[in-house]
Amino acid sequence: MLGDKVWGWPGNVIDTVSVLATIFGLATSLGSGAQQAASGISYLFDIESGLNVQIGVIAGVTAVATLSVIRGIHGGVRLLSNANMVMAGLLLVFVIFAGPTLAIFQWLWDTTASYESNMFALSNPFGREEDTTWFHGWTVFYWAWWISWSPFVGMFIAGYPGAARYVNS
C-alpha cells in the first residue's frame, strides 16, 4: 500500500505504533491471566489473592518466558511449547477419568447445542436493551484487546507462505 515509502518515517511510525499496541495487548493478557491464576492459587491453597500474589505470578511467567527466549527456538520455545501440550493432554486425561465423565460429556453436548441455537440471537446487538452494561463493557474491552494484538498477529498471517494467495485473490 505504501510501497517504498514504508522505509521512511511513515514506516517508522507504523512500526512504533505496532510495537506499542502489542506491548499493551501483552500487558492486558498478562494482567488478566495473573488475576485468574491468583484466584486459582487462593482457591487451592487458601492464600489471599492480593496484589503480591499477582506480581509473583507475573514475575514467574516473565522469568519462564525470558529463559525460553534466551535459549532460542529449539532449546527454549519449542521445549516450553511441547511441555505445555503434554501438560494440557495429561490434564485432559486426568479430568476425564477422575472427574464426572458422563456429566462432562453431557455438559459438552448441552452447551454446544445451546450455543448453536442461541448464536444468532446473541450476536444481534439490536433489541437487547436489558443487558446494555454487560454488552457495552465487554464489547469495548474485547474490541480494544483484539485491536492491540492485530499488528502482532498480522505479522504471522503476512509471513505465512500461502498468504499471498489469499491477499491477491
Closest by alpha carbon to 31, among 153, 145, 138?
145
> Does one domain contain both 13 and 90?
yes
Whether residue 166 has pLDDT greater than 60: no
Give the chain's mean pLDDT.
Answer: 83
> Does one domain contain both 111 and 159?
yes
Domain containing residue 160: 101-169
Whether residue 72 has pLDDT greater than 80: yes
Rounded distance between C-alpha atoms, residue 135 and residue 141, angstroms: 10
When divided into structural domains, the chain yields a total of 2
The pLDDT of residue 91 is 95
Whether residue 90 has pLDDT greater than 70: yes
Which residues does 33 contact at the CB level (< 8 Å), separation at least 6?
Answer: 57, 61
> Does one domain contain both 115 and 72?
no
Comparing 36 with 8, which gets the higher pLDDT? 36
At 159, the pLDDT band (50, 70, 90 cuts) reads low
Rounded distance between C-alpha atoms, residue 115 and residue 110, angstroms: 9
Average pLDDT, integer, range 126-154: 70
> Does one domain contain both 95 and 107?
no
> Does one domain contain both 71 and 134?
no
Residue with cell 522505509: 7
> Does one domain contain both 82 and 116?
no
Rounded distance between C-alpha atoms, residue 12 and residue 52, angstroms: 38
The pLDDT of residue 51 is 93
Rounded distance between C-alpha atoms, residue 151 and residue 19, angstroms: 8
At 127, the pLDDT band (50, 70, 90 cuts) reads low
